[in-house]
Amino acid sequence: MTGTERTPLDPPWSLDLLADLHAGVLDERTEAELRPRVMADPDARAVLEALDATVMDLHNLPPIPMPREVADRIDAALAAEARPAAPVVSLDEARKRRNRRLGLGGGVLAAAAAAIGIALVVAPQNNTADQPPGAQQTQTSDKPVSGPPLAVKEGEFAAAVPEVLKAQNYGPLDNQDRLAGCLKGGGITSTAKPLGISPVSLKGKTAVMAILPGGAPGQFRIVVLDPDTCGPDNPQGVIADTTIKPTR
Amino acid sequence: MTAAASSDADLISAHAAGDPYAFSELVKRHRDRMWAVALRTLRDPEEAADALQEAFISAFRAASSFRAESQVTTWLHRIVVNACLDRMRRRQTRPTVPLPEAGPGEPVAPRDAMSERETRLMVQDALAELPEEQRAPIVLVDVEGYSVAETAQLLGIAEGTVKSRCARGRAKLAKVLGHLRNQIADANVPADGVNVQAQPRRQWEDR
């Protein structure tokens, strides 16, 4: 050591070292040694002030309110989550229920009751009731679904909502423009992307179910369209249009 | 229950007890702040919306196991930050979409609106230029006002790491934002990864 050699704490200081000092990264001893020297140096002090100004700029960034369509989409997803999954009733259970209700016995009638029981149950395609929390898929998909479309029954469309909310599959409608045209035919003005959309099977025919914001928190509007006939000039192309609220 | 008069912890309890509206109320209270974090971290509105939906559903399912040792907001924030970090890891090389210039309902200042807007955009752009590992702690500490300790907890990293990442990020931002126009040369600092030339400079510095 000659006595004139620089140590890391001698000026000029690197920006990184000054930023570390500013952020409290340095150990107490180093900071205690460095800070008075830095504060005595106008240029180094100006760097600390520049870092302060940067933090102030960041702090002054305004809040960003969540856009309405995102809020609606999340409300609908939570509403669907709050809705109990439609129960899938086993053949045996269906037989027992029907028999109990009707007070009937006998193999032929029980078999008939079971058949009716199956027809009355609308089950989502992927029943997740037995899966542990967190195992259910919540991401949306715009990929066409392979396999048969989700079966729905008139008057029980709500049971399909959790599944449809996970999809962005326009099916035979192809795209959002065609959807908007079909909705227009039913007097529904909507240019926004639906919260969920999927082909469904209704009475053995392919239809398209779209879920739109319901106009109030927690509500959503279910519209079922006939892809073969719907369009801006055909109100008959809208098979169903109903607004539902979540229940638990 | 009277949602407006309830604490966050009350809402979580009510949700666990079967109140169908309690969790939605909790989300409503915090969604703007969560949205800002997700958007500023991910820089893509679609990705931010997906991450938030995923996070809120996951929180909905896990809420019954929430223990009051931590604040509800910290717990919710951690779930949101994790959902964002997961997405950031998954999309490492994918290009991102720039943030919209102004969100709906964003306050408009009557005076100096143009220069304020310009500053805001510049800061937003500069933030977007930071590496993700520096951007996340800066968003949480400097923009959202979380403490270093809370941020360390949220990000699952040491407090010292939060501080040093913030230090590196702030140094880059100070250059990009023009606060260090003269000081860089004086401090003998080589230019690092930030494309200083490509960024707009402040013209209204009073220094």
Q: Are residues A80 and A50 in the same domain?
A: no
Point out the residues of chain A with pLDDT beneath 70.
Answer: 1-8, 83-148, 191, 216-219, 245-248
Q: Say whether A62 and B106 touch across the interface (CB within 8 A).
A: yes
pLDDT at B152 over 90: yes
**Beta strands A150-152 and A196-202: pairing type?**
parallel
Judging contacts by C-beta atoms under 8 Å, the chain A residues touching residue B34 are 66
Judging contacts by C-beta atoms under 8 Å, the chain B residues touching residue A75 are 24, 27
Q: Is residue A98 part of a domain?
A: no
A138 compared with B52, residue with greater pLDDT? B52
The pLDDT of residue B128: 87
Q: Is residue A20 part of a domain?
A: yes
3 state DSSP class of A167: strand
Q: Are residues A166 and A240 in the same domain?
A: yes
Boundaries of domain holding A38? 15-59
The answer for residues whose C-beta is within 8 angstroms of residue A102's C-beta and 6 or more apart is A109, A113
Q: Are residues A75 and A174 in the same domain?
A: yes
Average pLDDT over residues B33-43: 91
The values of phi and psi at residue B117, to 5°, are -65, -40
User: Global pTM?
Assistant: 0.56
> Before A12, cis peptide (omega within 30)?
yes
Number of neighbours of residue A71 by Cβ within 10 angstroms: 20
Q: Is residue A43 part of a domain?
A: yes
Q: Is residue A208 part of a domain?
A: yes
Q: Are residues A44 and A164 in the same domain?
A: no
Judging contacts by C-beta atoms under 8 Å, the chain A residues touching residue B40 are 61, 64
The answer for residues whose C-beta is within 8 angstroms of residue B9's C-beta and 6 or more apart is B68, B72
Q: Are residues A53 and A128 in the same domain?
A: no
Both structure tokens of A176:
């959002």
The C-alpha torsion from B151 through B157 and B159 to B163, rounded to 10°, is: -80
Q: Is residue A39 part of a domain?
A: yes
Check: CB of residue B137 under 8 Å from CB of residue B130.
no
Please tell me the total number of residues recorded for chain B in this structure: 207
Query: Complex ipTM, two decimals?
Result: 0.72
DSSP tag of B141: I
Q: Say whether B20 and A75 touch across the interface (CB within 8 A).
A: no
pLDDT per residue over B133-142, tens digit each? Answer: 999 999 999 9
Structural domains in chain B, sorted by start: 7-92 (1.10.1740.10), 112-200 (1.10.10.10)
Q: Are residues A160 and A235 in the same domain?
A: yes
Q: Is residue A94 part of a domain?
A: no
Check: CB of residue B106 under 8 Å from CB of residue A64.
yes
Residue B187 has its nearest CB partner, among A18, A20, A75, at A18
Q: Say whether B187 and A247 touch across the interface (CB within 8 A).
A: no
Q: Is residue A147 part of a domain?
A: yes
Q: Are residues A52 and A132 in the same domain?
A: no
The pLDDT of residue A163: 77
Q: Are residues A182 and A77 in the same domain?
A: yes
The count of domains in chain A is 2
Q: Are residues A140 and A27 in the same domain?
A: no
B122 compared with A49, residue with greater pLDDT? A49
pLDDT per residue over B10-31, tens digit each? Answer: 888 888 888 878 898 899 999 9
Q: Please state which of the ranges A77-91, B39-53, B96-110, B125-139 shows the lowest mean pLDDT.
A: B96-110
Please tell me the total number of residues recorded for chain A in this structure: 248
The pLDDT of residue A177: 87
Q: Are residues A140 and A236 in the same domain?
A: yes
Quick one: pLDDT band at residue B148, thresholds 50, 70, 90? very high
B93 compared with B143, residue with greater pLDDT? B143
The residue assigned the tokens 């559903």 is B57
B162 compared with A187, residue with greater pLDDT? B162
Q: Are residues A21 and A82 in the same domain?
A: no
Strand intervals (E) in chain A: 150-152, 196-202, 205-213, 220-225, 238-244
The residues in A 140-179 lying below 8 A from B, measured between CB atoms, are 140
pLDDT at B122 over 90: no
Q: Is residue A108 part of a domain?
A: no
